[in-house]
Structure 1
Amino acid sequence: MIPRLVVLTDRAQLRLGRGLVRTVRECADAGLSAVVVREHDLAPSARSALVEELVSVPGLTVISSRIPDPRAHGLHCAAQQGAPPSAGRWGRSCHSRAEADRAADEGASWVTLSPYAVSASKPGHGPALPPGAYAGHRVPVLALAGIDARNAAAARSAGAHGVAVMGAVMRAADPAAVVAGLLEALA
């Protein structure tokens, strides 16, 4: 089962001087148990090395975004990306109930459903889905976009299994404190 909190990486949003591996390790120390490694622009060897290093973090489930990696514990597919050919844990980015249903039909273990709220990471992405969009799915749904400790509990109350967060963690001065606040809000 996918945990209630998943962090998506984006090293471009990190504050100056912050490294991605250090940030993820600090978040794991604060209780984070799953991360989706994006970093699509890295050379294949560098991205593979990043996944390998994060897999070594005790208790951390590492999910590769879009690009299958044999070291990762799962794959998170883009909205229009087909189901992976190998049977394993995978999820998909969705933007409607119909897309979430299709992902479930194809064997997804979870979906992200966005946008939940206005997102600083993707300005103009929207409008936000209605709160009712998050309830009653056959697979766990993670609300994504514009999520922080102030609205994470509301996403759960709307029916989401949990939340997927990128910007609020990646842009934070203290990412581990943000993770701790999100976990508290989701408890």
Structure 2
Amino acid sequence: MALPPFLVVTDRHGADRPLRETVRAAVAGGARFVWLRDRDLDCAVRRELARDLIAILAPAGGHLVVGGDVELAAETEAQGVHLPGSAGADDIRAARQSLGAAALIGFSAHSVAEIAAAAAAGADYATLSPIFPTASKPGYGPTLGLDALRAATVHRLPVFALGGIDADNARACRDAGAAGVAVMGGLMRGPDPRGAAAGFLARLI
């Protein structure tokens, strides 16, 4: 499956409007790939949210991956799961066995070595972060930069640059070999998620 180059990462706490409305606007702007984080939600509420986001994405042929919850991904028939950096190779393989060959299995990597391990375990894509300084996730250590992004691409796993991505540096990430960029604050906190999505895509395609 060819992955869209723009991955929307949800954060209802940082969004300027209700999350469903933000995602609907982003999809109207061309977004087709959404990672549902918001892990602090009650299970039933998160299940309902996942189903609503799938319904928003489906008419546009979009994909939803659920952060860290294989059972929820299976129950809601999401397109896949995005596993946290604490997951290991066995977790990636177990997610594949549970969700099937067609599912998207993503992984949050914070080093080139973790990208290599995810590729070997059969992940479909990974995020690599933080590429640039970011206010959304300040506790993830020093930035990796574009050199790490270039190094990660040798492992033939689609890598999405995450952390401090904005309209000014998104193209540089693609030029460094990234399959795309993953954006949370730059879309969730903006007043115009539709325009933001369209702007990112114009720089990425």
Which TM-score band (shorter chain)?
over 0.9
Shift of 1:137: 2.6
Q: Is 1:158 matched with 2:157? A: no
> Which residue of 61, 64, 72 corresponds with 1:62?
64
What letter corresponds to residue 64 of structure 1 in structure 2? Answer: V
- 1:131: Cα distance to partner? 1.5
Distance in structure 2 (CA, Å) of the matches to 1:25 and 1:130:
31
The two structures, once aligned, show a CA RMSD in angstroms of 1.2
Q: Which residue of 2 aligns with 1:78?
A: 84
Question: Alpha-carbon deviations, 1:70-108, whole Å to 9, x = none?
Answer: 221010000121212423320100011110010011110
Opposite residue 104 of structure 2, the aligned amino acid is R
Amino acid aligned to 1:186: L
Is 1:20 the counterpart of 2:35 in the alignment?
A: no
CA displacement, residues 102-160 of structure 1 (integer Å, 9 cap, x when unaligned): 00111100000011100010124331113222232311000000001110001111111
For the residues of structure 2 that align with 1:139 and 1:125, how far apart are their CA atoms? 22
Q: 3-state SS of the aligned residue for 1:11?
A: coil
For residues 131 and 185 of structure 1, what CA distance do their matches in structure 2 show? Answer: 17
Question: Mean alpha-carbon deviation: is it higher for 131-140 or for 177-186?
Answer: 131-140
Bigger drift between 29-38 and 117-126 goes to 117-126
Equivalent in the alignment of 1:119: 134
1:3 aligned partner: 4
Percent of pairs with identical residues:
42
| 8 A Cα contact 2:29 2:196, kept in partner | no
1:5-44 CA distances to partner (integer Å, 9 max, x unpaired)? Answer: 00000000012xx110011011101100010001111111
What is the CA distance between 1:2 and its match in structure 2?
Answer: 2.0
Whole-angstrom CA distance in 1 between matches of 2:140 and 2:117: 22
Residue correspondence of structure 1 range 127-166 to structure 2 within 5 A: 127-135=142-150, 136-166=154-184
Following TM superposition, the consecutive aligned residue runs of length 4 or more in structure 1 with deviations greater than 6 angstroms are: none
- Shift of residue 175, structure 1, vs aligned partner: 1.2
- State the distance in 2 between where 1:149 and 1:32 align: 15
Q: Which runs of 5+ in 1 are unaligned?
A: none
| Larger helix fraction of residues | 2
Q: Is the 8 A contact 1:116 1:129 kept in 2?
A: yes
Partners of 2:8 and 2:34 within 8 A in 1: yes
